Chains A and B, each alone.
Chain A
Amino acid sequence: MDLRAPEPGGPAVTRGHILIDDVVKVYDPEGAAVMAVDHCSLDIDAGEICMIVGPSGCGKTTLLNAIAGFHDITSGTILLDGAVLCSKERPKAEPGPDRIVVFQNGALFPWKTNLDNVVFGPVMQGKLTPKEAVDKGRAMMADAGLAGVELNYPGEVSSGMRRRVEIVRALMNDPKVLLLDEPYRALDSLTKSVMHEALLEIYYKNKVTIFFITHDLEEAIFLGHKVAIMTTRPCKPKKVLTVDIPHPRDYGVLTSKRFRELIEETNDAVHEEALKAFQAGEKEG
């Protein structure tokens, strides 16, 4: 695959810096306080791919929902490019096109064609006329290898293609941050590997900050500049790893010595948390 190499590190990206500072989230269903996120702090550079790794149900999604503005936080602050998204005083951020979520099970509107899905953002915001949006949408879809499926409905194309359409729909809004919530979880491993390269290819063309939740360590190290391994509930970074394998990367990286070393370095930490999550589940169950 041709990943027309940009300069190492890519062009300087100046927007999309996320600072998560001492965030706490306590769920309080019927007085039984459950701490989902515990004094979590994380600094994500502009234009960085930050992978959040942790066992299922550890509270990663709570963090994503706080950034996206779907849920409030109990205390702490989240800043985007220095502006407060949410804090103790204003616990819930306003959802907006500068931070777009790609959902775990996909959220393309099945009643709109792929192209109508792609142009949805700019048209709703009134940023582009429908005509301009269609032109831009077609160009971006062609760029992402989606030429020819514009007029199909999402239900008519493969799940891998649907994910690409969804990412294009997000990028149409020129977001500062993409928030991906285990987007490839439901895909088979072959499709997944193709999707990883496709995501990187799209990323090299449109540098944005990517906040990517996964429970797959290999996926995390393959894609990320930074990998944050989270503790199981309550969730906070246990170990933050900087992946020093240079971008652009392709699937050759998987067999490289450095990749294996990084896996070994982090595997124990991930396994330990998975075990804790499992035991906690046993206790609750």
Chain B
Amino acid sequence: MELTLNQTAQDADLDVLRATTPFRDAPDALLRTITSIARRARHAAGERVYTAGDDADDIFIVVSGIVEHVFTPEVGARDPLKRMTGGGVFGWAGLLLGQTKRLATVTASEPTEVLRIGAEELVKVLESDAAAGNAVMERFASMITREFTVPELLAQVRRLSGRPQPEEMTTLGLTMYRLSLWLKSPRPYLMVVGFALFLGFWYLSVEVWRLPRFKEMPGITAVIKEWLSPNPTYGLSFYTAEYYQHIGMSVWRVAQAFFLATALGVPFGLFLGWSRKFKEYVFPVFELLRPIPILAWVPLAIVMFIATESAVVYLAFLAAFFATALNTMLGVESIDESYVRAASCLGAKKSQVFRHVILPGALPFIFTGLQISIGVSWFSLVAAEMVSGQYGLGYVINTSYMMVRYPTIVIGMITLGVVGYVTSAMVRIAGDYLMEWRVRELALAER
């Protein structure tokens, strides 16, 4: 008998929950768990339910009757006064980010029955089913901004812990979301216009107007025709294996140079920034070698490495190494002394300071260095390939010039542009992945 009574009471609570905005679409199992932590309470007409500034513990759902809900002016609600009848949800301050006090005063205007749910318990229940729980929290957030006219800045709900957040659920989802935002902004369309203008100018200046100095250039139609032809006149197009051999060779050389430069340059730069003594020994030499243009190294590189292959990689490595090491050193030096002091106050040993403060603190600079490093390693690679080497995009450009295959020069150049862009984007993405804190901070600053 007792059991069935309990059962019907729970079912009644279930119906109440289902009639509210935040819980409307939540699965039954979750709602049942919530009813088990909910309890009913009655308030007489004119009775104060809670006052602004009280501790925000429970959330309330009106079962019957009417309550009057008045925000304090600090909240900045467009509509500070709200009357609520059955199904109205209030007392949600406990679900907000960093909010522990009531933001409003609530009074029953007539005899009212409410359902009370402890905010902390509710959060625990929601955390047990992360997907549905996050959906409920999101509905709370939109209800607070829409129905309660609270500014969005205040209406940020807590993040459920334990399980991945919806925005973190998949990187793919996040990327798709960013992509859709990007497509909605004017930026992609301006970009298309920019490309169209550039290509249009190329076409007109070379093939239509035949401007002096331009008329000897390979025209856009000739280049595209050559590029897309299964039987290219000069031997290089999308359909020839040789084209991919050249790309592959250049990418492989840059990859070797870049990874070597990173593996040596980052520790070297960290050490330069970390130890004053080491810097005093090494930095003057470093600063003297750094400004020497890479092309000036070519003869020595060929003498040093008899094989042309390692000479080419060495040249690309050298440029990348200097950029990486210098930026890493600057990164370490840019770290605010307070962070190091705070860590030593908190009992961190020197090695722990290095691991938890110096390394992450220098990371933004390190990645700036890596962006530069991948750029200069392409730059010096192509220079080196032009001077010596048998494959690679630099070699293609140089030999095509000597053999008067002009469209192939342009194919080589554009390919370099695309491949270079892709590699540098990869470095940027790796950086964003490692520095989530920074991405979020910047996103906030933009808002």
Contacts and interface: CB of A to CB of B under 8 A. Distances in A.
A156 B53 CA distance: 24
B336 A107 contact: yes
A155 B437 CA distance: 8
B161 interface: yes
B161 A151 contact: yes
B361 interface: yes
Interface residues of B, number: 36
Interface string B338-375: 11011111111100100011001101000000000000
B329 interface: no
Interface in B14-51: none
Interface stretch (A37-45, A74-82, A92-100): A92-100
A69 B159 CA distance: 38
A2 B341 CA distance: 35
A2 B100 CA distance: 12
Contact of A103 (B96, B161, B341, B349): B341
Most chain B CB within a 10 A radius of its CB, from A68, A103, A106: A103
Consensus secondary structure, chain A interface: loop
Given A1-B53, A147-B158, A155 B441 contact: yes
A70 B338 CA distance: 10
A107 to B, nearest CB: 4
Contacts of A161: 98
Interface string B88-101: 00000000111110
B435 interface: yes
A32 interface: no
B346 A97 contact: yes
A100 B441 CA distance: 27
Contacts of B347: 96-97, 121, 124-125, 173
A68 B363 contact: no
A146 B98 contact: yes
A103 B159 contact: no
Contact of B338 (A107, A113, A157): A107
B447 to A, nearest CB: 11
A125 B349 CA distance: 8
Contacts of B159: 148, 151-152
Given A103-B338, A109-B357, A147-B158, A169 B346 contact: yes
B346 A149 contact: no
A150 interface: yes
B444 interface: yes
Most chain A CB within a 10 A radius of its CB, from B53, B98, B161: B98
Given A103-B338, A109-B356, A151-B159, A158 B345 contact: no
Interface residues of A, number: 40
Nearest to A120: B346
B440 interface: yes
Nearest to B99: A148
Interface string A84-124: 00000000000111011101011101111100000011001
Contacts of B346: 97, 100, 120-121, 124-125, 169, 173
A194 B336 CA distance: 28
Given A124-B356, A147-B158, A157 B348 contact: no
A50 B361 CA distance: 34
A10 interface: no
A203 interface: no
Given A95-B344, A109-B339, A124 B352 contact: yes
Contact of A149 (B55, B97, B344, B361): B97
Contact of B158 (A68, A100, A103, A148): A148
B98 A100 contact: no
B123 to A, nearest CB: 8
Nearest to A161: B98
A105 B341 CA distance: 13
A148 B437 contact: no
A79 to B, nearest CB: 19
Contacts of B360: 109, 111-112
A51 B161 CA distance: 39
Contacts of B339: 107, 109
Contacts of B158: 147-149
Interface in B79-124: 96-100, 120
B57 to A, nearest CB: 12
Q: Which 6 A-B pairs have the closest CB atoms?
A: A148-B158, A155-B441, A121-B346, A107-B342, A107-B338, A125-B347
12 contacts: A1-B53, A69-B344, A103-B342, A110-B438, A111-B437, A124-B343, A124-B346, A124-B349, A125-B347, A147-B120, A152-B159, A155-B440
